[in-house]
């Protein structure tokens, strides 16, 4: 668990007040503030930096003004929630990709129990819900990101759908963070890893989403897309600062994507 000072700084980072109690309304507010403030990004994968699953991920978010992917931001958010009195467990999932289901432990998210009801909380996916999703119900749950629904449970697993399309298959067993370290090593080092085939930084907004992939800046506002190709590195540095609040001292090295690969879809 993180200490009170770091929790206070984390709340300031996401623009949230300390909740009076650990209830569903507070969880929803904290989740939405996190999703709209902390980018989904993989810059450190291409800056030669280590990726951490523990409190160091909190420090990266809070003190460096950065974001991360699921292995960083979801455990970090879980530590904040625990410090605020919430009951938190780690879950895993297999991501639905164009070629089929990904590997077990390929995605990490949270199960948060409030007043006897369990909710799926995910602040580290390309199109995650902004608000907690009630587990154990087949009903469609409407969110600013779209219509979410859980499929039937089979052998302890169930799919999460967004607007009728499967996102990932959740394993309902609680996990330990250490179980994800081999998968993180693969994502961090293997040329086939989708995180090694693109440099991306993406953030939902109230109106849509803004994404920077390499030198290409894409904005979606109320369903309308605009694409801007940044002229040089100076404009890229400025875009990271202006749109994501990041002050970088160097840019990540853009990889050469293998033929036929799709990388990570962040729209």
Question: Which long-range contacts link 211-216 to residues 24+ away (Cβ below 8 Å)?
Answer: 211/266, 211/267, 212/236, 212/239, 212/240, 212/243, 212/244, 213/266, 214/254
Residues belonging to the chain: 267
Question: How far is residue 207's CA from residue 229's CA, in Å, rounded to a whole number?
Answer: 21
Question: How far is residue 101's CA from residue 243's CA, in Å, rounded to a whole number?
Answer: 33
Strand, helix or coil for residue 232: coil
Question: How far is residue 264's CA from residue 115's CA, in Å, rounded to a whole number?
Answer: 36
Question: How far is residue 12's CA from residue 226's CA, in Å, rounded to a whole number?
Answer: 31
Whether 209 contacts 203, CB under 8 Å: yes
Cβ neighbours of residue 169 closer than 8 Å, sequence gap 6 or more:
93, 94, 96, 101, 157, 158, 159, 160
- DSSP label at residue 123: S
Tokens linked to 228:
């801007």
Terminal C-alpha separation, the chain: 33
Residues catalogued as catalytic: 70, 107, 122
């Amino acid at each position: 668990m993180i200490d009170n000072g770091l929790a206070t700084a984390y709340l300031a980072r996401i623009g949230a007040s300390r909740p009076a109690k650990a209830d569903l309304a507070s969880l929803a507010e904290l989740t939405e503030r996190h999703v709209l403030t902390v980018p989904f990004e993989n810059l450190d994968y291409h800056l030669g930096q280590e990726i951490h699953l523990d409190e160091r991920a909190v420090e990266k978010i809070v003190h460096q003004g950065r974001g991360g992917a699921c292995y960083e931001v979801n455990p970090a958010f879980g530590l904040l929630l625990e410090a605020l009195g919430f009951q938190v467990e780690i879950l895993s999932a297999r991501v639905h990709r164009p070629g089929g289901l990904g590997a077990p432990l390929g995605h990490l998210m949270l199960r948060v129990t409030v007043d006897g009801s369990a909710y799926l909380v995910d602040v580290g996916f390309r199109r995650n819900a902004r608000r907690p999703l009630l587990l154990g119900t087949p009903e469609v749950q409407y969110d600013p990101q779209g219509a979410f629904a859980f499929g039937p449970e089979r052998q302890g697993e169930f799919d999460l759908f967004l607007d009728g399309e499967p996102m990932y298959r959740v394993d309902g067993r609680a996990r330990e963070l250490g179980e994800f370290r081999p998968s993180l090593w693969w994502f961090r080092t293997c040329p086939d890893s989708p995180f090694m085939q693109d440099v991306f930084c993406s953030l939902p907004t109230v109106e849509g989403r803004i994404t920077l992939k390499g030198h290409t800046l894409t904005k979606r506002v109320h369903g309308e897309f605009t694409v801007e190709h940044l002229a040089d590195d100076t404009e890229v540095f400025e875009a990271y600062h202006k749109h994501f609040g990041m002050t970088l001292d160097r840019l990540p090295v853009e990889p050469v994507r293998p033929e036929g690969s799709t990388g990570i879809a962040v729209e």
